[in-house]
Amino acid sequence: MRRRRRSVNDRQGNWDEFALLLIDVQNDFWVEPMSLARPQFEANVARLLDLCRTEGIDVVHVRARFRDDRSDWMPRYRLTGRIPCIEGTPGVATLPAAADEAGEFVIYKQSFDAFLKPALPAWLEKNGKRFVLVAGLVTSVCVLLTAAAAAQRGYLVGVVEDCCADQPAAHGHTLDRYPFVFDRTTIDGLAGRRAQWLADLESVSG
């Protein structure tokens, strides 16, 4: 049974200025070495989505999708002749744990950085979002580059590290290397960070 979305009065706090970007949780990116290294990833993503929906954090599903004719491939991939998530193939499918619900914004990208799709910053601005939570695949590529783009566009950013995955060394290195780009948190740590993040938003608004 789908959990009831809480009313505003039921929620633990005000998350109106926050949005979750859930990135590329798709078959082609969920390769065996990652699944062996991060066996709780899918369950964690499901928990994160449940938390966001319960607490009123808007969710944006960011997914990769490319045409078979190579017309929208990045040049490097045209040279190699291979790219993940070609439309119509099993690899483009979303993992069940990351399925969207009615009313949630879904955007398809053809790059590492989701902000290259104008619809994403337009949606965030329209909905008054100032703090972006980022999770998904792959930590050192699309998660990092989207987080960096968000920071450079004026958003505060938090990476939900137990809802990201990569090759183990790359995952850890990325999380450790960029404290000047994003805060780190976990699913269980989200509620405890909210007050500080709201204070940070107030501070940068002054």
pLDDT at 8 over 70: no
Under the banding of pLDDT at 50, 70 and 90, the label for residue 14 is confident
**Residues 124-176 pLDDT 10s:** 999 999 999 999 999 999 999 999 999 999 999 999 999 999 998 999 999 99
185 strand-pairing partners: 160
Residue 3 located in a structural domain: no
Residue 153 sits in which domain range? 15-205
- Number of domains the chain is built from: 1
Q: Does 147 reside within a domain?
A: yes
Comparing CA positions, the residue from 148, 157, 161, 155 lying closest to residue 188 is 161
Tens-place pLDDT, residues 80-116 = 999 999 999 999 999 999 999 999 999 999 999 999 9
Reported pTM:
0.92
Question: Each residue of 24-64: pLDDT tens digit?
Answer: 999 999 999 899 989 999 999 999 999 999 999 999 999 99
